[in-house]
């Protein structure tokens, strides 16, 4: 397996640089934030002041205003911390965006434990579970800069509301420019009997798990499920159905995250593919530590996953 | 349309609302009657820039109804203006029917899916902002219940609109002084409401919500607005039927046989 190349670019920059390009070309693009900053956004704010509004710490109003703008033809992006921009204004998203099919993009930064020392209020652990309960939403979980750059355009062109989970930092690059990003998933390591389906931050982790297992002569495939909703039939037929076992890796709660989605698909298909889920325990962590420390607490670090998988087989 | 004709139209709307409520055994009579005159003024008295033949005209004024449970008045008006068919109108209250107890955007002229209070002022603010960004001439009106002002998101919108000088935004409060379970006097939230709203850099007016000269007068004033405008329309819940007026139970109570007969008499509907 080829060595992963770590990006020189922060994943936020990869995303926001494309938003800049989009906003430069389309004067109907409006960017709203709930007073959340990002280095690469400052350029947008500076160069397109009429297209950038700090709504202030008022997420409900941010979505309401976004809805009004979108209803009048504006292409709106909203941005803030993942836990706040989904939960604080959940009803607004459900009714004012989704039920009226207004194509606003909600960008939530800080999935999982990426806000390490800020406590459960900042942990993006339940956002997947609640957002996927909205029928009309599309959800992208950004795992590398190639996807991030493309996701900006996919969101911009969407005719339904989109939720983008945006991480912080520099991550391995997982695809080249030939990837179309139209399927909602990408096979990063060829499929075997046992396949890991991972998402977001856990995808590079999954590749490390696979590499470690390979050293122990156990082959596993790795699939990055980057579009958590909607999921095409093709995902079941190409990835799940041919597998004997699926291992899910996510930095979201056991309660309702990506692993739950996989279980639901398999149950509905009457499939007997086995599922092994790795996720965040169903509790709020009033603890403080680095992301790696949190992962160790949850058995989500590479060594723990490898141990768990080897013990089983 | 002159004052007499507007009053006649409002009476007709109340008749339609009463009959639709009685026929389907569902409706929110009290809160619908309190804002009937306001709605008639908007649609028939040039309160809004609106073309019934062209409900999606891009430069139309937009009316967002926060208190969507007053929908029966809107349905009657939309029927009268040929925006919906009689067939559709008659679907109200029926299984699988396309007209429900709340408004939705599938209905021509409806800008917002109602049912959850407190959102419309912010959404209307977004529309007023779009107008300002593009120097367009349309206004966004939000019809609010007075109980609806308890929602924090209303105040987020008030703050935002004031800070951004959204002079194309108009909030209209149907101040009928009753919520579902309580009387809403001029205490607490409503104490010095005008001063509170003005402090957020809005213009504020107070009118008799059942006087067409006053309603039309303020709508004309609004056209010169340099700030967002909040209008408190003092109204009576259940206005138009004496035994319903000020009655808390008439939020969603349906009249029985004898009450219906009395109500019809008062509204001048000839005996069934």
CB-CB under 8 Å, B160 with A58:
yes
If you ran DSSP here, which 8-state letter would residue A112 be given?
Answer: B
What's the CA gap between A36 and A45, in Å, rounded? 12
Residue A241 φ then ψ, to 5°: -55, -45
pLDDT for B32 beyond 60: yes
ipTM of the complex in this document: 0.96
DSSP assignment string, chain B: --HHHHHHHHHHHHHHHHHHHHHHT---HHHHHHHHHHHHHHHHSSSS---TT-TT-TT--EEEESSGGGHHHHHHHHHHTTSS-HHHHTTTTSTT-S--SS--TTSTT--S--SSTT-HHHHHHHHHHHHHHTT----EEEEEESGGGGSHHHHHHHHHHHHTT-TTEEEEEEE-SB-SSSB--SSGGGTTHHHHHHHTT-EEEEEETT-HHHHHHHHHHHTT-SS-EEEEEE--TTTTSTTTTT-GGGGT----HHHHHHHHHHHTPPP-
CB-CB under 8 Å, B122 with A61:
yes
Which token pair is A95? 């009714």
Sheet of B203-208: strand order equals B62-65, B140-145, B169-175, B229-234, B203-208
Which token pair is A193? 């009997």
> Using an 8 Å Cβ cutoff, are B178 and B235 in contact?
no
Determine how many CB atoms are found less than 10 A away from the CB of residue A233.
9
Model pLDDT, residue A31: 98
Mean pLDDT of A142-169: 97
CB-CB under 8 Å, A72 with B122:
no
Give the pLDDT confidence of A36-67 residue by residue, as tens digits.
Answer: 999 889 999 999 999 999 999 999 999 999 99
| Cis status, amide bond into A228, omega within 30 of 0 | no
What's the CA gap between A260 and A123, in Å, rounded? 19
Model pLDDT, residue A2: 52
Question: Closest residue of A to B110, CA-based?
Answer: A100
A67 touches chain B (CB under 8 A): yes
What's the CA gap between A170 and A241, in Å, rounded? 33
Question: Closest residue of A to B138, CA-based?
Answer: A72
Minimal Cβ distance to A64: which of B111, B126, B159? B126
Confidence of residue A5 (pLDDT cuts 50, 70, 90): confident
Minimal Cβ distance to A68: which of B113, B129, B159? B129
What's the CA gap between A270 and A275, in Å, rounded? 13
What's the CA gap between A253 and A250, in Å, rounded? 8
Contacts of A72 in chain B (CB under 8 A): 126-127, 130-131
What's the CA gap between A48 and A39, in Å, rounded? 15
Burial B82-107 (b: 16+ CB within 10 A, else e): ebbeeebbebbbeeeeebbbbbbbeb
Contacts of B129 in chain A (CB under 8 A): 53, 65, 68-69
DSSP assignment string, A140-205: EE--SHHHHHHHHHHHHH-SS-EEEEE--S--EE---TT----SSEEEEE---SEEEEE-TTHHHH
Interface test mutation site (partner B, options A52, A63, A64, max chain B beta carbons within 10 A): A64
pLDDT for B256 beyond 50: yes
For helices A145-157 and A11-25, what crossing angle results, to 10°?
30
Give the pLDDT confidence of A217-252 residue by residue, as tens digits.
Answer: 999 999 999 999 999 999 999 999 999 999 999 999
What is the model's pTM?
A: 0.96
| Residue whose structure tokens are 């926060």 | B66
Model pLDDT, residue A312: 67
Give the pLDDT confidence of A248-273 residue by residue, as tens digits.
Answer: 999 999 999 999 999 999 999 999 99
If you ran DSSP here, which 8-state letter would residue A121 be given?
Answer: G
The pLDDT mean for chain B works out to 96
B166 touches chain A (CB under 8 A): no
Confidence of residue A13 (pLDDT cuts 50, 70, 90): very high
pLDDT for B271 beyond 60: no
Which token pair is B265? 């008499």
CB-CB under 8 Å, B160 with A61:
yes
Which token pair is B240? 């138009």
A164 touches chain B (CB under 8 A): no
Pairing of strands A172-173, A194-198: unpaired
Q: Tell how far CA A204 is from the center of its chain.
A: 13
Nearest to B138 by CA among A237, A282, A225, A71: A71
Confidence of residue A1 (pLDDT cuts 50, 70, 90): very low
Confidence of residue A176 (pLDDT cuts 50, 70, 90): confident
Mean pLDDT of B180-205: 97
B271 Cβ neighbours under 8 A, 6+ residues apart: B261, B264
pLDDT for B50 beyond 50: yes
> Using an 8 Å Cβ cutoff, are B128 and B139 in contact?
yes
């Amino acid at each position: 397996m080829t060595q992963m190349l770590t990006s020189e670019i922060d994943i936020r920059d990869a995303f926001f640089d494309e938003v800049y390009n989009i906003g430069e070309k389309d004067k109907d693009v409006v960017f709203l934030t709930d007073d959340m900053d990002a280095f690469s956004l400052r350029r947008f704010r500076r160069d397109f002041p009429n297209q950038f509004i700090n709504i202030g710490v008022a997420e409900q109003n941010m979505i309401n205003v976004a809805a009004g703008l979108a209803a009048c033809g504006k292409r709106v992006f909203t941005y803030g911390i993942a836990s706040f921009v989904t939960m604080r204004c959940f009803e607004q998203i459900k009714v004012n965006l989704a039920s009226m099919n207004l194509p606003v993009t909600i960008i939530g930064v800080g999935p999982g434990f990426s806000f390490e020392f800020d406590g459960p209020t900042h942990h993006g652990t339940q956002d997947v579970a609640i957002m996927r309960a909205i029928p009309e939403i599309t959800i992208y979980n950004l795992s590398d800069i190639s996807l991030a750059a493309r996701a900006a355009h996919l969101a911009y062109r969407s005719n339904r509301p989109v939720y983008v989970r945006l991480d912080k930092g520099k991550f391995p690059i997982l695809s080249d420019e030939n990837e179309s990003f139209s399927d909602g998933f990408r096979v990063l390591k060829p499929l075997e009997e046992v396949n890991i389906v991972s998402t977001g931050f856990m995808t590079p982790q999954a590749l490390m798990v696979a590499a470690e297992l390979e050293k122990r002569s156990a082959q596993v495939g790795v699939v990055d499920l980057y579009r958590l909703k909607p999921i095409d039939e093709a995902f079941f037929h190409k990835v799940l159905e041919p597998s004997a076992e699926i291992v899910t890796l996510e930095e979201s709660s056991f309660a309702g995250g990506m692993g739950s989605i996989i279980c639901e698909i398999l149950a509905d298909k009457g499939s007997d593919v086995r599922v092994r889920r790795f996720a965040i325990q169903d509790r709020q962590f009033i603890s403080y530590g680095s992301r790696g420390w949190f992962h160790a607490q949850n058995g989500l670090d590479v060594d723990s996953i490898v141990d768990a998988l080897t013990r089983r087989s | 349309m002159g004052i007499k004709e507007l009053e006649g139209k409002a009476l007709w709307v109340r008749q339609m609302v009463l009959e639709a409520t009685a026929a389907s055994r569902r409706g929110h009579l009290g809160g619908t009657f309190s804002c009937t005159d306001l709605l008639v003024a908007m649609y028939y008295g040039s309160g809004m820039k609106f073309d019934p033949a062209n409900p999606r005209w891009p430069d139309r004024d937009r009316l967002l109804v926060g208190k969507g449970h007053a929908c029966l008045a809107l349905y009657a008006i939309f029927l009268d203006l040929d925006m919906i068919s009689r067939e559709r109108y008659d679907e109200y209250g029926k299984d699988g029917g396309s007209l429900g107890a709340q408004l939705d955007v599938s209905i021509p002229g409806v800008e917002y899916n109602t049912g959850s209070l407190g959102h419309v002022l912010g959404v209307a603010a977004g529309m007023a902002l779009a107008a300002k960004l593009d120097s367009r001439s349309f206004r966004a009106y939000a019809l609010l219940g007075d109980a609806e002002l308890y929602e924090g998101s209303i105040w987020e919108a008030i703050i935002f609109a004031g800070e951004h000088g959204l002079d194309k935004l108009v909030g209209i409060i149907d101040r009928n002084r009753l919520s579902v379970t309580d009387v809403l006097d001029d205490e607490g939230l409503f104490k010095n409401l005008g001063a509170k709203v003005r402090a957020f850099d809005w213009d504020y007016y107070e009118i008799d919500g059942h006087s067409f000269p006053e309603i039309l007068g303020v709508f004309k004033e609004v056209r010169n607005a340099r700030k967002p405008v909040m209008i408190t329309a003092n109204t009576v819940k259940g206005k138009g039927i004496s035994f319903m007026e000020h009655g808390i139970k008439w939020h969603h109570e349906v009249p029985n046989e004898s009450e219906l007969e009395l109500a019809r008499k008062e509204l001048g509907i000839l005996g069934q």
